[in-house]
Amino acid sequence: MANSVAAKGAAKAKGDGLWKRMSRFLRESWIEVIKKASWPTWAELKKSTAVVIIAVLVVAVYIGVIDTVLSKITNPLLGMAVPKK
């Protein structure tokens, strides 16, 4: 119990207002993004984007097929006839 109280006190310094904490957070976040993060190269970015687009298309087709199959199974069971054109 005493350790958790001490840890909370160390995390938030006494007297720091909301705006000061927010500005410190934003400043530290900016440093993290600019100086510490490693960004992908243009070639890596294009490859990753292609992988994501292909994965989304595969999942969309999979969900569409499953939806169609389940609709064909459940519609007759529920008495929902699909109107013919």
Provide the percentage of residues in the chain whose pLDDT is more than 70: 76
Q: How many angstroms from the chain centroid is the CA of residue 44?
A: 20
pTM of the model: 0.55
Whether the Cβ atoms of residue 40 and residue 47 lie closer than 8 Å to each other:
no
**Residue 46 exposed, middle or buried by CB count within 10 Å (0-12, 13-18, 19+):** exposed
Q: Write the pLDDT tens digit of every residue in 46-74.
A: 999 999 999 999 999 999 999 999 999 99
Confidence band (pLDDT; 50, 70, 90) for 76?
Answer: confident
Quick one: CA torsion of 48, 50, 56, 60, rounded to 10 degrees?
-160
Length of the chain: 85
Provide the percentage of residues in the chain whose pLDDT is more than 90: 56
pLDDT at residue 85, as a whole number:
63
